[in-house]
Structure formats: structure tokens, C-alpha cells
Structure 1
Amino acid sequence: MPLAPVRRQGAWKLAYADFLTALCAFFLVMWLIHGASNDQRADIAGQFSSSSKLEPHLTTVTEPESNLILEQLYASSLLQQHRDNVFVQANDGGIRVELIDLERMPLFNKGEATLNDRGTLVINLAAKAIAGLGLPVAIEGHTDSAPMLRAGYSNWELSSDRANAARRALLAGGVDASQIRSVSGLADTRPLEDGRADLPQNRRLSIVIQIE
């Protein structure tokens, strides 16, 4: 009679130990990167590269830091509770958090620069998510191409006023004044989809988290 195969009952423990070791190493690297200068980050990257030359976008090791920030944002109440109003995207300069003023879920009343109740709630949750990062931010106001019907008041004024309303709300929500690097109104010059400035989703606030 052939012998039954012997089961290795402790194999999962070794796999779990390896996982914990890798996790600890990951957070150690993240801690080192967060407190390092750009030159120091480049040196750290060199330790993990098998090539003598690094690709330009890796020299400051911003990609792991961006991923870590994205994870924190996706775990925040902002995205857990208001995903329809929020779009997040990483780019070369940092991370853009787009707060979309949807037709049926607006952040502002039409043609007005004062946040409504929903807008106040969304900005407050954005402030809580951003304040803990301690990183500089730029605030942009955007509109669609529909013209304003008020004399002497265009989409340039509206987008600027909305951006400043967002700035005040972020400060009230806990973002430190030193984190605010710029506030600008861009009217309909930066549509989400090229050539479609008429789309209502272009009415939005952009909070650009800058990774230095």
C-alpha cells in the first residue's frame, strides 16, 4: 500500500513571515523617502537599481510616494462617500484631485461662487484628507463654456471666486495656510476632454497636491 503524502502544516507560517518582512521593508523605504531631499532620494533609488542609469521619472523616486498618497486618498471619507463627485489622477507634478460640479449633484448653485451644503461637505472632507499629508497644494477653478448672464462678470471671475471659496473652506477644514501655494481661475480653458469645453463636468475645482 503506498504511503499517504505528508502534509506540510507549517508552510503557511513561512509564507506569512516572508510577507510581513517584505511589508516592514516597504514601510521602512517609504519612511526614508518621505524625509529625504531630492538628491538623497536619487541616491536611494540607485541602491535598488541594477542599471548604472535611471530613467528620468525615477530619479526622485516620486512614483512610490504618489502611490502611497493615492492609497490614503482612496481610503479617505472623501472618496468613500462622494466618489461620484471626485476624480483622482497622478501626473508628473503630483496628484490632481478633481471635484466635479455635477448637474444633479452640484457643489455650487448655478452661476454662484458660494459653496452649497454639498460643496461645503465635500471640501471639508477634502481638507481632512489633504491636511494630514502636509504637502503644498494649488487650487484651480474651472467652468464650462456657457456664458455668464451678468454684466461685467464672466467665467473668469466665476472660476476665480470659486477657487477662492475652496481655499477658504480648505483652511476652515484644517489645511494649513502654508500649504496653499497658488489659487487661480481658469474659466473654460482647461476642459477635461480636449475640444469639449461645453460639457457640464468641466465645472469643477482642482486641488493639485504637489510632491516635491
Structure 2
Amino acid sequence: MPTRKTGTWKLAYADFLTALVAFFLLMWLISGVSKEDRAVIASEFTGKPATVSVTASEALSDAARLLAMLELSESLKAAGDSVQLSADAQGVRIELVDTADRPLFETGSGALTETGAALIRAAGASLAALPYTVSIEGHTDAFSMAGTASSNWELSSARANEARRLLEASGFGTERVVGVTGYADTRPLSAGQPHLAANRRISLQVHLAD
């Protein structure tokens, strides 16, 4: 009588389990690889060059790195509460704000105080060596300018242009300024609190890409 090979199914089952474990191990390894790295790995098998796209989350990651860099700026740190930094999808916003003990502007005027001028220069020095463009925004609080023919629109525009002139005079390239806008009191820092002193400010929007 022929000999029955009763252990054959065990070998097949063992091969199946080995393949299954290898599959799950591969899936686990791939789950920890970024989208860009997966594209590079796929290109090794297909022979096609990897295509890497910059998504909104990646742009925000770049903004976070720029934010961390600016937070290390000694001149900006020295300004204390007069400087507020934040990252967004466009890049980084630098808010240079008016405080009770450190006003940025002369009362009811677009002219910068010595403190305001120093803040603009500090921001310019921090950005000078970086390859990014900047939009400049001027803002006011919600108090009207009694006794004058000008409105907060003219005032905020004058403040934005004063900041632009000082940035350029400090060596910041004219070609890197892509916008100068006055927003009056329409964009308060804190919604519902348009009369705060901090709303009297200059905002520098640093753009990571055009």
C-alpha cells in the first residue's frame, strides 16, 4: 500500500501563515511612510519618475517651520507683547500691535513712534535673509477720528504705507512687497472687541509661495 503523507497540509498551512505575516508586516511598514516616500518606492518598481505635490497640510508644515525660526529672533522676542506670530496656509503672520505703554503710532496719525519704527526694523531684519514676499496691512481701532476729514480707511492705509517705506529704507527689497492695504477697523484681532488698542497695528503676511 502507498504511504500516506499526512503532514503535507501542515506545510501548506505554514506557508500560508508565513505569507500572511509577511503581508501584514509590509502593510505596517508602509503605513509609517509619507506620501512622498511611497511615490518614490513605487517609482522603483514602475520605472516612472515620482510625482510629489505640495498639499495644504505640507504648506502649513513649512509655515510652522518658518514660525519656529521667527520665534527665535532675538529682536522680535525683545518686543514682548507688541509682536504676535501665527502660522496659516499662506505662511506666517507677524502682528505688530499697539499697547498702552508702547504705542506704535502717533495719536490719530499714520506716523510711527520710535517704538513703532523699531518694531518695523526688527521685523525687516528678521525677514531680510529669507526668500519670501510680504503683504503689508494697516489697521485701526473702531474709534472715529473726530474733528478731521479723514476716516479710519485713510488712516489705516497711511500706516501701511509708512511701514512699507520704513521696510524699504531698512534694506527690504521693494520687489518683495506684493501688497499694501488699509483695512480700517474691519479686521479686529479679537472678534467683538473692535475698540482694543491692539487693533491699532501693522500686519505683515509672509507668503511662502506666490
Give me the TM-score of the superposition, normalised by structure 1: 0.72
Mean CA deviation greater in 183-192 or 172-181: 172-181
Report the CA distance shift for 1:187/1:178 in structure 2 as closer, same or farther (over 3 A): same
The equivalent residue for 2:35 is: 46
* Stretches (4+) displaced over 4 A: none
Cα offsets for 1:126-158 (capped at 9, x unmatched): 100111112011000000000102432111111
Cα offsets for 1:35-84 (capped at 9, x unmatched): xxxxxxxxxx632359x9x99523xx223321221122111133221021
The equivalent residue for 2:140 is: 143
Structure 1 segments unaligned to the other structure (5+ residues): 1-44
Report the CA distance shift for 1:49/1:62 in structure 2 as closer, same or farther (over 3 A): farther
Once residues 143 and 88 of structure 2 are traced to their aligned partners in structure 1, the CA distance between those partners, rounded to angstroms, is 28
Q: CA RMSD in A?
A: 2.2
Q: How many residues matched?
A: 165
The equivalent residue for 2:61 is: 64
Report the CA distance shift for 1:152/1:71 in structure 2 as closer, same or farther (over 3 A): same
**Identical-residue share of aligned pairs (%):** 37
- Structure 2 residue matching 1:96: 3-state secondary structure: strand
What's the CA shift for 1:176? Answer: 0.6
In terms of Rg, which structure is larger?
A: 2
1:205 aligns with 2:205: no
Report the CA distance shift for 1:150/1:182 in structure 2 as closer, same or farther (over 3 A): farther
- Structure 1 residue matching 2:110: 3-state secondary structure: coil
Q: 1:125 aligns with which of 122, 125, 129?
A: 122
The equivalent residue for 1:13 is: none
Give me the TM-score of the superposition, normalised by structure 2: 0.73
Q: 1:92 aligns with which of 86, 89, 92?
A: 89
